Structure 1
Amino acid sequence: MKISNSVFVNQAGYPLKGPKVFTAAEAGEFELVEAGSGRILYEGVMSPLKEDRASGLAVAKGDFSGFEEAGRFFLRMKESGAVSPEFAVGERPYAALEKALLKSFYFQRCGMELTAEYAGPWSHGPCHLAEAHVHGNPEERYPQTGGWHDAGDYGKYTVAAVKAVADLLLAYERFPGAFAEPVGIPNASRLPDVLAEVQFELEFLLLMQRPDGEVYHKVTTAEFPPYDCMPEFDLAELIFSPVSDTATGSFAAGMALAARVYRELEPGLAERYAEAAKRAWRSLQGRPAAEGFRNPPGIITGEYGDKSSADEVYWAAAELFRLTGEAEYLQAAEAKLEEGWESWTAVRGNALLCRLGWAYTAGYGTLSLLDAGPGLVPEALRARLLGAWLAEAEEYAERSAADGFGISLLPEEYIWGSNMLVMNRAMVLITAEGMTGDKRFGQAALAHWDYLLGRNVLGYCYVTGFGANRVLNPHHRPSEGDGVAEPVPGMVAGGPNVRLQDETAVSLLAGAAPAACYVDHMESYSTNEMTIYWNSPAVFVAAYAGRI
């Protein structure tokens, strides 16, 4: 059977009782065929063809949600004979994928040997064991070992790390049952694997805090190592870049969130995290906000620059209020909200107020206040925030229904890390469903999930190790340097980037439609890198999708 490149499905599969929607570049009738036997088990009719600006195609949607039998299948268009990749329908079609998405964080661990027992063929020696010096002062040295490498390089960045930690903790808070089974990491604690993995990162983040409470922005070498450099051979000097208010604010928020999640299971850990959060918070008080972080002289690794720390401070205040119940934090959150409301709602509706990124973090603060128990947040404030959140979710749901591939991105929003944006918006939709019970939001979130796993114009499953058409050449140094044909599994590729921000993308993708501006090439870091904070929202969405 020759697979067509014109029938686009979730290649990981569809839940037995959930929605089952696909896209094709033709209209007319379709049939669902059992793999192996060739039996036709379901027939349907596509929607009318409609131009899809982002993909540059005219496409139609098909729906076989009424089919509820387990097995392996493919879809075939009656007129052309075009067929989709095979996929599963079952009770738990995403079980292996859920585990792989979470285990990818283990593969990013710094400072320890990844043994064959847990890492299989992707094992390697311990790395980055030396102390780092503070930028501008080679004699001032501190430990930095531990945590996760951020991406396809070996830097460790506070603001990126905290976004990843927050997504994982929020996933556990909402869907604890999704993390009941081990995923295959070393874990001698009584914590579920997700919390043990996050603890590994939190212990590193504590090393990023100075005694005065402020937090270093990142620890990296001065420049990136070669593309095929394995982590244990990256021996250049490690450097703490200066502290920043964005790092300090996000650190305070993440530690307060962690303290809340861990306090029932590990109260000792929770107390350490709470104290670190409060020290970071105190360091931000009584002085004007510093200018946004910029790389200091001689450092050319990822900058993670951010002009304003107002959203990080808002988030920190919200999380400290959730943790302590103390009015001063709620007052601080309200003050920052009032200060930022006009700018956070001016760009496009309520986008920045509900954004779940590493640079725009206000959405985490908003979600934290909305999740507070009854009567804790003044009703007028809660109503205002809920209205903004649901308005944003409504816009995503409407766009999803209109989009040929079921997602909420506008053509110009296929940017660096567009797959993170897709997953972040699915998080907003999932939480909106939880707040309202409106299934439309959940269905739109699942359409975003389908997109990540193959229902996109290129027909790629954007998670390494999965799908009939899978990513094989991610911008990820261990996967390039280890001599193993398959890349480390469970990593989310960055996705289409219409801005073409690397030489490979420019040379291979010029003139492509926005949703097609992706290439599975190791040197296309602007479309094909992985990061911990692209994987983290995917873990959240997987935890939801796996419970349908």
Structure 2
Amino acid sequence: MKNNCLTIITTLWLTALCASDAIAATESWIRINQLGYLPGGVKAAVWASKHTAIPMKFQLVDSASGKPVFTGTVKPFGQYGPFRTTARLDFSSWKQTGTFYLVAGEAKSPYFRIAPNVYAGAADFALRYMRQQRSFFNPFLKDSCHTHDGYTLYGPMPDSTRIDVAGGWHDASDYLQYSTTSANATYHLLAAYRDFPQVFGDRYAANGLEGSNHVPDILDEARWGLDWLSKMHPRDNWMFNQIADDRDHNGMRLPKEDPFYGKGFERPVYFCSGQPQVRGKFMNQTTGVASTAGKFASAFALGYDLLKDKDAAYAGILRRKALTAYSMGRRQPGVCQTASVKSPYIYAEDNWVDDMELAAASLYRLYGKDSCRQQALDYAGQEKITPWLGKDTAYHYQWYPFINLGHYELARQLKGAARQTITGYYQQGIDQVWQQAKNNAFYRYIPFIWCSNNLTTAFAIQCYWYRQLTGSNAYAALEQANFDWLFGCNPWGTSMVYGLPAAGDTPEDPHSAFTHLGHYPVDGALVDGPVYTNIYKNLIGIQLSKPDAYAAFQSDLAVYHDDFGDYSTNEPTMDGTASLIYLLAAMDHEGGNHPAAATPANSSAYTYAAGAVIRGDTSRKTLTLVFTGDEFADGGRTIRRVLQQQKVPAAFFLTGKFYANPAFQPLVKQLKADGHYLGPHSDQHPLYCDWQKRDSLLITRDAFDKDLAANYRRMKTLGISQSAASYFLPPYEWYNDTIAAWTKAAGLQLVNFTPGTRSNADYTTPAMKSYRSSEEIYKSILQYADTQPAGLNGFMLLLHIGTDPARTDKFYNRLHELITDLKKRGYRFVTINQLLHT
């Protein structure tokens, strides 16, 4: 559902969804990838209807002009899910960039972008969820949890032996921790850095707190995983498979110390014994340790590869552990399933040779031994095709990690016929899916089992890898369709990633204590995804907490609920998100923006609130001075003189009334001649939304558009074009996500000042309760610069070009002093275009 949480910090620019897409208005819909499309890539949407009539044509419409720019032929398909008829709308031949929408019959799509940078910053955004899932020290909460892990079970040592395994990531919305999912997540993060290092930023320290440490954040997060895996493989012949069990499900809570296991705050740590272990009334079907050991070995080996030149001592430890983990897998072939005490639900992994294939290929890269290469080839031949591919069902995590990563690593090392053999395995699996998927408009044939989104992500990666290894585009449309599914091109018309895109239809009520109890965003989290309706109906303990907003799109085929009460479709998972980070990085890389192009304004380097950019890149010691003006301009000459003396650019957002005032026009012309940014601040300075109930609009869409257009007409008379002033700062600096959406629809980007200091209080008068003296304002700015982890990095520091005569303590008289002090602290003042890289 549309995410209206005003505190959510989101990334990726996207214009808002059209109100005409509401269920009550039509019974035909157009489903799109809300993130947008690459100019040179596959671009397709799905038209779906509750009726039988199908339009013959569709149009791609430029959102700014309202004029059609492309007309295409509808490719009809039959019934799918809740729809009586569906059709595919392919506009791949359109290569030009811009903001558009689609029209087919009575249906109109949401707005979307076509641009090389539509996926920029998405991978870093999803990385936020990984940091939030950290155990031991949790940087999101800035607090520790699960510090007493744990006591051993099933090991060669006496049960209840104390062992230090604190760290790692919580698996999902519960706080269990599994070696299999964590090792797979670690590998995907490492591989994302290996393959696409240029797409990741450095805005967080190793402990996950804000602040650059000159290490890409993706590598910091991967190392957090490696640190924990090292603890879980403490000796050459010791390996542990999980921390805690389903006694964790005692109740929903934020992460803390859990006293559910009869040993104070210690939690059980299950040894990889290679033998069946407790599973409620049953025993699991463990037959060995290779499925876990292979994942450990490959993560350690790739970690060594990437860190050997950065931290040789640490990398040496990883190199040794890669070999010892692999040796354990060779000695004890078979699967190592998870343990459950109270319920029948486990990760029932049934395959292991794919894990050992990846491990063997990774060790060949480290040691260059032909025996490792041959073992990898042998393992590859034992499981050519991941068993779920082309099937319509599977058990929970039966064929984990849903993709044979070993085939990709091995094929990268091979040439000629040997390479073709391995890529042929990928091709066979993909084609088994394609033979079924090509029969529906969504190109969908992924089993609707638990974590169907994880399978979708893995399959999209397999298609991508096949394309990279062979150069063949035979399955490019299928690859893109699976990616599109995750971001809105699905029957429910919703993204499956919390907060991505910023103004899109995304999960807002996931099965997560962070959102349900703490009311915190779980930015970047990939939720489980739709399940077969018959699965949903037979699950234990599911009860929706509110009316189903997607009721019109549920069917006998599959259901999806954006509801805390549905743990089967709307629970985020750590390992699925880690896989998605790889896929998002690949798609970002496809855009071709790296490394030459600057980070675009929809990157996760930027901070958004309710659809407006409120801060630039926090890894750079740059800021922009922003001045607003409506009825007063008494500080204009002083401000201009100081900026000239200090050689500092600034941005001025002025109302139409300001621009039209004959007394102010000479100043405006001088500021324009000086090269400062001059932008809109509304024409008549209306209040857009209620001060107390921010969601309550006080202006209509028509009035908003007319007022903004009037502002630009006033600017045009002074030689300021709209194309040179694409940032809009709202009147009173007060807005909501609807205002941000309307701004996007106008082809503009809403911006607002960066909160934290009291600079914006320079307009207050002594009679006001909120009055702040210039000294107090000045100290608040320097204090923020000196005490916050990122200081004023990326700040849009807002001041006023003039204030009421009742305020005699004019802050602009201290502007020269302020700029000087900030320059001494190393800050560089840039234009707003430089701050936001446009």
Q: Same fold (TM over 0.5)?
A: yes
Change (3 A) 1:177 1:396: farther
Match of 2:109 among 84, 93, 98: 84
Q: Please point out which of 333, 336, 344 is paired with 1:289.
A: 333
Aligned to 1:241: 270
1:10 counterpart letter in structure 2: N
Distance of 1:109 and 1:415 partners within structure 2: 27
Are positions 1:470 and 2:498 aligned together?
no
Write the distance in 1 (CA, Å) between the matches of 2:129 and 2:327: 34
Q: Which has the larger radius of gyration?
A: 2
Q: Which amino acid aligns with 1:194?
A: I
Amino acid at match of 1:64: F
Mapped to 1, the partners of 2:375 and 2:234 lie a distance apart of: 23
Query: Which letter does structure 2 place at the counterpart of 1:313?
Result: M
Is the alpha carbon distance of 1:360 and 1:201 closer, same or farther for their aligned partners in structure 2, counting shifts above 3 Å?
closer
How many angstroms does 1:100 deviate by?
A: 1.3
From 365, 369, 373, the counterpart of 1:322: 365
Q: SS of the counterpart of 1:430? A: helix
**CA deviations over 1:15-69 (Å, ceiling 9, x no partner):** 234332111124333333444x561232423424211445654211112334445
Deviations 1:97-135 (A, max 9, x none): 332112221111111142xxxx4xxx3522111130012
Q: Which runs of 5+ in 2 are unaligned?
A: 1-18, 24-28, 49-53, 261-265, 275-288, 592-838
Matched, 1:256 2:301: yes
Aligned: 1:420 with 2:454: yes
- Give the Cα separation in 2 of the matches to 1:449 and 1:58: 22
Compute the displacement of 1:228 (Å): 3.5
Contact 2:246 2:342 in 1 (8 A): yes
SS in 1 for 2:168: coil
Counterpart selection for 2:129 from 104, 124, 133? 104
Structure 1 position 385, deviation (Å): 1.4
**Residues 204 and 213, structure 2, Cα contact 8 Å, conserved in 1:** no
- Work out which of the residue numbers 9, 28, 31 in structure 1 matches 2:59: 31
CA contact under 8 A between 2:350 and 2:398: conserved in structure 1?
no
- Name the amino acid aligned to 2:271: P
Query: Residue by residue, what CA displacement relative to the aligned partner does 1:473-532 show, whole Å, maximum 9, x if unpaired?
Result: 112222222134xx3111111111112253466888999546642111212121111112
SS in 1 for 2:256: helix
**Distance in 2 (alpha carbons) for counterparts of 1:358 and 1:435:** 23
Q: Which residue of 1 aligns with 2:375?
A: 332
Change (3 A) 1:170 1:32: same
User: 2:223 is matched by which residue type in structure 1?
Assistant: Q
CA 1:18–1:183: 2 relative to 1, 3 Å: farther
Seen in structure 2, the aligned counterparts of structure 1 residues 55 and 357 have a Cα distance that, compared at 3 Å, is farther
Q: Tell me which amino acid in the other structure corresponds to 2:116.
A: E
1:268 aligns with 2:313: yes
Cα distance between partner residues in 1 of 2:119 and 2:232: 36
Check 1:48–1:313 CA distance in 2 against 1; reply closer, same or farther (3 A cut).
closer
What displacement does 1:404 show?
A: 0.9
2:689 maps to none
**Pair 511,90 (structure 1): closer, same or farther in 2 beyond 3 Å:** closer
Of residues 414-423 and 183-192 in structure 1, the stretch that sits farther from structure 2 once superposed is 183-192
Task: Sort the Cα spacing of 1:522 and 1:11 in 2 relative to 1 into closer, same or farther, 3 A.
Answer: same
Shift of 1:451: 1.0
Instruction: Please point out which of 436, 441, 446 is paired with 1:404.
Output: 441
Matched, 1:382 2:419: yes
SS at the partner of 2:69? strand
Secondary structure of residue in 1 paired with 2:118: coil
SS at match of 1:223: helix
The TM-score with structure 2 as length reference comes to: 0.57
Q: Where in structure 2 are the equivalents of 1:159-170 lying within 5 Å?
A: 159-170=180-191
Contact 2:121/2:199 (CA < 8 Å) preserved in 1? no
Deviation string for 1:387-416 (max 9, x for gaps)? 21223334445555443113443xxx1111
Per-residue CA deviations over 1:273-300 (Å, capped at 9, x if unaligned) read 11111111223444x536643526x465
Rounded to whole Å, the distance in 1 between the matches of 2:147 and 2:42 is: 48
CA distance in 1, matches of 2:338, 2:377: 29
Tell me the equivalent position of 1:391.
428
Q: Is structure 2 residue 43 aligned with structure 1 residue 20?
A: yes
Distance 2:450 2:463 in 1: 22
Query: Which has the larger displacement, 449-458 or 105-114?
Result: 105-114
Secondary structure in 2 aligned to 1:528? coil
Identify if the C-alpha distance between structure 1 residues 299 and 219 changes in structure 2 by more than 3 Å, giving closer, same or farther.
farther
Task: Verify the 8 A CA contact 1:310 1:336 in the aligned structure 2.
Answer: yes
Counterparts of residues 158-307 of structure 1 (less than 5 Å)? 158-180=179-201, 182=203, 185-186=208-209, 189-220=213-244, 223-226=247-250, 228-232=252-256, 234-236=258-260, 237-243=266-272, 244=274, 245=289, 246-286=291-331, 288-289=332-333, 292-293=336-337, 295=339, 298=341, 303-307=346-350
Please say if residues 220 and 301 of structure 1, whose CA atoms lie closer than 8 Å, have aligned partners that are also in contact.
Answer: no
- Between the aligned partners of 1:272 and 1:176, the Cα distance in structure 2 is 23
Aligned residues: percent identity?
A: 23
Q: Is the 8 A contact 2:390 2:432 kept in 1?
A: no
Q: Which residue of 2 aligns with 1:156?
A: 177
Secondary structure class of the residue paired with 2:33: coil
Match among 561, 583, 586 for residue 541 of structure 1? 583
Kindly provide the CA deviation profile for residues 296-352 of structure 1, in whole angstroms up to 9, marking residues without a partner as x: 6x46596323345333333322221122111222233334345x248x57776899x
The one-letter code of the counterpart of 1:200 is W
Aligned to 2:408, which of 361, 367, 372?
Answer: 367
Deviates more, 1:497-506 or 1:430-439: 497-506
Q: Is the 2:45–2:90 contact (alpha carbons within 8 Å) kept by the matching residues of 1? A: yes
Q: SS in structure 1 opposite 2:145?
A: coil
Alignment match of 2:483 (pick from 438, 445, 449):
449
- CA root-mean-square deviation: 3.3
Letter paired with 1:364: L
SS of the residue corresponding to residue 527 of structure 1 reads coil
TM-score of the two chains, using structure 1 as the length reference? 0.85
Residue 125 (structure 1) aligns with = 143
1:62 aligns with 2:85: no
Match of 1:2 among 3, 17, 20: 20
What is the CA distance between 1:218 and its match in structure 2? 0.4
Aligned residues: 522
The residue type equivalent to 2:507 in the other structure is V
Structure 1 residues 181 and 399: CA distance shift in structure 2, 3 A? farther
Q: Do the aligned residues in 2 keep the contact of 1:103 with 1:183 (CA within 8 Å)?
A: no
Q: Return the letter of the residue paired with 2:363.
A: L
Give per-residue Cα distances to partners, 1:111-165, cap 9 Å, x unaligned: 1142xxxx4xxx3522111130012656411112221111111111001111212
Q: Tell me, in whole angstroms, the C-alpha distance in 1 between the residues paired with 2:113 and 2:346.
A: 41
User: Which protein, 1 or 2, shows the higher relative CO under an 8 Å CA cutoff with sep ≥ 6?
Assistant: 1
